[in-house]
Amino acid sequence: MIDTKNNALIQAIKQDLAKNRVYEKDVIEAIFIKKTSKGAFFDLGKFGTGIVYGLELLNAKDIIKNLKPGDKILAKILVFENQDGYVELSLVDADKQKNWQKIKELEESGEIIPMKIIGANSGGLIGEIFEIKAFLPISKLAEKNIPKETDRQKIIEELKKFIGQELNVKISLVNPRNNKLIVSEREIISANVLELLNQYKIGQVVDAVVSGMASFGVFVKLVDNPEIEGIVYLSELDYRIIDNPKDILNLNDIVKVKILDIKNGKLILSIKATKEDPWQKVNDLYKINDEVKGIVYKFTPFGAIINLSNVQGFVHITDFGGVDEMKKELELGREYNFIISQIKPEEKRIILKLKK
């Protein structure tokens, strides 16, 4: 017969032992004793005496100089018992770990917090939250703050204007292991906007005004509800390859957009989906050996993309012998005469040859 009383006692003892054990990398409470030339010493209670020395002492000098005997502080265990019998500690790591925990709590609560901007690059803004570097990508900026330029250097110049300012953000991604903290300004959505969004459904076609441009697409505001904004990514602008939204759109243009998705309080839209696919009738418009006029739109490592009247064609680099030779015969933005050599509607592809 099993002695349930003894079994319960054993389990209680095991749980108590587990509570009283610590491991390397654990963060525990330490009581400051004193600082000597050897290091700073801390009372760890039943776990003995801790020491902060060497590089850790140098890194924590600003923390230690403000400590008085008896002050309590969190410390991270680096080595449970060194050759002198002390528990080696880190105060800086413990402080950082505590800050990561605060940030994790902010992510879970969805709280809006101010972040001071301390730097900028072509990808976005750099700030600090609880002394941990945070990154605010351009795609997560509020629409009004997104650079209207597409040139890399001009984007950086516009973003640098925010240095020293505070922006309200929400935590978007937390990964202490990779020291990665991503925040978002766009995810701060008013209750009013969320309510307005309930009027719209995926698949619906609505009118919108182009309100901003970025290297990855355009931002639009709905004509009937300007408080609601959405994004049209480059791939959804047109059936042609578009490198720069300015090639086909201007600010304040009114466009029809189709709602592809509604998430995180914003609309994912498509202009392309409101138009008829020109590739469905390409065989009615073009024939092999036809002579057509086309404008050189873009060079690639494999050739050149040519804008025809409603689709794009492609000229292979092998027709020229190499990139340098191709650029001698073709100039970006200039119109030339081409001969159609292949038509592949299923691949959305027309192969051209430069007419000599």
220-246 per-position pLDDT tens digit: 999 998 888 899 999 999 998 888 898
CATH of the domain at 302: 2.40.50.140
Closest CA to 272 of 236, 248, 234: 236
pLDDT in tens, 77-127: 889 889 889 999 988 877 777 788 888 888 888 888 999 999 999 899 999
Q: What CA–CA distance (Å, rounded) separates 113 from 103? A: 10
Residue ending a domain, choose from 53, 71, 95: 95
Q: Is the distance from CB of 187 to CB of 264 less than 8 angstroms?
A: yes
Residue 353 — pLDDT band, cuts 50, 70, 90?
very high
pLDDT in tens, 277-299: 989 889 888 999 999 999 999 99
pLDDT in tens, 135-166: 999 988 887 788 876 678 888 999 999 999 99
Q: Is the distance from CB of 306 to CB of 294 less than 8 angstroms?
A: yes
56 and 90, same domain (yes or no):
yes
Residue 39 — pLDDT band, cuts 50, 70, 90?
very high
Look at residue 7 in the predicted model and tell me its pLDDT: 54
Residue 23 — pLDDT band, cuts 50, 70, 90?
confident
Look at residue 133 in the predicted model and tell me its pLDDT: 92
270 and 287, same domain (yes or no):
no
349 and 283, same domain (yes or no):
yes
Is 80 exceeded by the pLDDT of residue 189? no
Residue 11 — pLDDT band, cuts 50, 70, 90?
low
- Structure token digits, residue 290: 């036809």
Q: What CA–CA distance (Å, rounded) separates 176 from 227? A: 36
Q: Which amino acid is at 16?
A: D
Q: Residue 151 sits in which domain range?
A: 110-184
Q: What CA–CA distance (Å, rounded) separates 111 from 169? A: 9
154 and 133, same domain (yes or no):
yes
Closest CA to 77 of 43, 40, 50, 45: 50
Q: Is the distance from CB of 213 to CB of 150 less than 8 angstroms?
A: yes
User: How many other CB atoms sit within 10 Å of the CB of residue 71?
Assistant: 13
Is residue 229 in some structural domain?
A: yes
Percent with pLDDT over 90 in the chain: 46
